[in-house]
Chain A
Amino acid sequence: MEPTNLIPAVSCSGVTKAYGSGDTRTVALRGVDLEVRQGELLMLVGPSGCGKTTLISVMAGILDQDAGQCSLFGQDMKRLTPAQRTAFRGRRIGFVFQAFNLVPTLTVADNISLPLLINGSPRRQARERSIACLAEVGLAGREDAMPSELSGGQQQRVAIARALVHEPDLVVCDEPTSALDHTTGLAVMDMLKNLVVRGGRSLVIVTHDSRIFHYADTMAHMDDGRIESVRPGAATGEHS
């Protein structure tokens, strides 16, 4: 094991977060301690409203916690200026959303190339990388299609290609399979697990979908703003 691998991908301790103030104040996180190792697939499960989305938002540096500390690859996100944090996110994190969030007016290739363009890659190079990445998710030749011309499963595969095209170290997914049928969901999970974890990257997946639990190296159960338990997942045997 290389020494850098000892640094956890994500390390949260005592993270709290509340929304609103006064009567409408909702506490979403009540002191969360959680670690995600490099090369690990961690699944975050728990009842609706328990704070899963809030937690991965903090972990990915798109939401500020109220208290506690959260580091990504040893970097305390609170110590960065907003501009530095944005740039850090752009280089090292990939996102997959429940609602895909593909830009409907852009072609598949343009959608995939967004993270590269944001990081300053030249257009040509970004397009070539995108097309290669599209082939990796099994959609070779569809680069000039519009998102609306694809099925839900295909759109989520495009979204996965977009999350991976810039080779991030951490990929966070919020309910990546909940908009997909069972078979498509499994295919998408296979793809995610292969492309992310195989490359030594870390993957955090929020899900309700028990049919995909067996992909997890680690299962973190959440309830009411706290981590209740962290246990090895069904996939632990294969990967350790």
Chain B
Amino acid sequence: MFHIALKMLFGDPGKYLGIITAIALSSVIMVQQPAMLVDMLSQTYGTISDISLPDIWVMDPGVKSVDDSKPIQDTQLYRVRGVRGVEWAVPFYKGMQKVRLENGESAMCQLVGLDDSTLIGGPAVMLKGRLADLHIPDGVIVDESGARGRLAKRACEECPPVPIGVGDILEFNDTRALVVGVARSTPSFMSQPVVFTTYSRAKTLALSERKMLSFVLAKAKQGEAPEAVARRISAETGLTAYSSEEFKQASLEHIVKHTNILVNIGFVVLIGFVVGTAVTGQIFYNFTLDNLRYFGVFKAMGASDRTLLGMILLQALLVGFVGFGFGAGATAAFMHATAGGPGPQAKLTWQLLLGSGGAVMFIVLLAAFISARKVLRLETAVVFKA
């Protein structure tokens, strides 16, 4: 009887396509929206993910997230280096600075100062130039989206922007900076341009700031847990020290607590999920109800409850799989096509696909069970009703 169940489904191609389309569209909402949310949230700690070499972050106790800045004394670097279990520790500057462009306009950007000798914390992917080119006098590296976006050159108001590149000049606080490279970096939450330079040059460019040490990046010795070393650093210096994972968590919690992002976007995601499941469930339920009479006929002819239940579940599994497959595929294609633009980038993770796919299958099966109950309870005698 299972092939009969499938034939019943395919026998009306219009209805079959309708069900598949509805489930596919619901799947799009259920995949794309959470993907956006997950990505926006993970951007809150993008900087921490990007900087993979150190496993400990040390900062002022007032700092709540990686986007915060409360610089500490330079001398703290030496204290951290002295703590037992620390393999190495380097300075890291991160702060908002006003940059003046060649045409005289100015923009806010994020200036990042890297340890002069190791350049730890620098961008992983260089598109033009090399990271070591930061040793060229006045050298800075700009990020790709900044280079094309707010740092781009405009000859006039209406002229199309030309991305800045190697050889172009920027100015921070009347101090000249020479672009020596373009790098790719994860867009930050606020999506400002990012400008990398050395720690000591950052001090000259960011003239106005007295203290410059935003973070100390450290590495735990082999065999030492970064968390344990971080606790020791806190105890000895009075500063806050986190392992990278702890800092990601803390940054995420801070953003979630102090902005409405989770409430606002989470609400949209939730609505999408509810609408998606409701539509999917309803559509399949209606399909079974349309066939109620024929299930009654099968029952009169001696089909067991198990057979009927199996037929309905098979139909549900099939439309669920095919519909979700099309929906997730379309979403992936859409994300691929729009990847690389400014703003949050939705990413499909297997956890997300598993979650959304699980939800779609769950709701289709639930609808199948509810409609199957109706079939099983059906008075067989209805088959004689005209």
Contacts and interface: CB of A to CB of B under 8 A. Distances in A.
A182 interface: no
A142 interface: no
Nearest to B13: A105
Given A86-B299, A105-B12, A117 B4 contact: yes
A110 to B, nearest CB: 6
B21 interface: no
Interface string B66-85: 00000000000000000000
Contacts of B385: 99
Contacts of B294: 101, 103
Nearest to B306: A83
A106 interface: yes
Contact of B383 (A97, A117, A146): A97
B340 interface: no
Interface string A62-77: 1100000000000000
B381 A91 contact: no
What bracket does the count of chain B residues touching chain A fall in? 20 to 34
B380 interface: yes
A98 interface: yes
A63 B384 CA distance: 11
B381 to A, nearest CB: 4
Main secondary structure of the interface of B (DSSP, over half): helix
B373 interface: no
B303 A63 contact: no
Contacts of B223: none
Interface string A45-60: 0000000011011001
Tell me which of A53, A87, A95, A101 has the highest count of chain B C-beta atoms within 10 A of its own C-beta.
A101
B336 interface: no
Given A101-B293, A105-B11, A106-B7, A114 B384 contact: no
Given A89-B301, A114-B301, A62 B380 contact: yes
B383 A90 contact: no
Given A62-B381, A97-B384, A119 B4 contact: no
A86 to B, nearest CB: 5
Tell me which of A97, A115, A174 has the highest count of chain B C-beta atoms within 10 A of its own C-beta.
A97
A57 B381 contact: yes
Contacts of A119: 302
A110 B243 CA distance: 66
Interface residues of A, number: 33
B366 to A, nearest CB: 24
Contacts of A114: 4, 297-298, 301
A89 B300 contact: yes
A106 B381 contact: no
Contacts of A90: 301-303
B383 A95 contact: yes
Contacts of B12: 104-105
Nearest to B16: A105
Interface string A100-131: 01011110001000110111000100000000
A118 B7 contact: no
Contacts of A174: 384
B4 A110 contact: yes
A88 B304 CA distance: 11
Contacts of B304: 83, 86-87
B210 interface: no
Contacts of B297: 95, 97, 101, 103, 114
A40 B152 CA distance: 96
A53 B248 CA distance: 72
B302 A106 contact: no
B380 A105 contact: no
A123 B381 CA distance: 28
Nearest to B294: A103
A60 B300 CA distance: 9
Contacts of B305: 83, 86
Contacts of A97: 297, 383-384
A126 B11 CA distance: 19
A146 B12 CA distance: 11
A54 B307 CA distance: 26
A71 to B, nearest CB: 18
B11 A104 contact: yes
A86 B303 CA distance: 7
B289 to A, nearest CB: 15
Contacts of B4: 106, 110, 114, 117
A89 B302 contact: yes
A206 B174 CA distance: 103
A63 B378 CA distance: 11
Interface string A133-176: 00000000000001000000000000000000000000000110
Contacts of A56: 384
B87 interface: no
Given A101-B383, A119-B302, 15 more contacts: A57-B380, A90-B303, A91-B302, A95-B301, A97-B383, A101-B294, A104-B11, A105-B9, A106-B7, A114-B4, A117-B4, A118-B1, A118-B302, A118-B303, A118-B307
Q: Considering the complex of A and B, which 6 residue pairs feature the smallest CB-CB distances, nearest first?
A: A90-B302, A105-B11, A62-B380, A57-B381, A63-B381, A103-B294
18 contacts: A54-B381, A60-B300, A62-B383, A63-B380, A63-B381, A86-B299, A87-B304, A95-B301, A95-B383, A97-B384, A103-B294, A105-B7, A105-B10, A110-B7, A114-B4, A117-B1, A118-B301, A118-B307
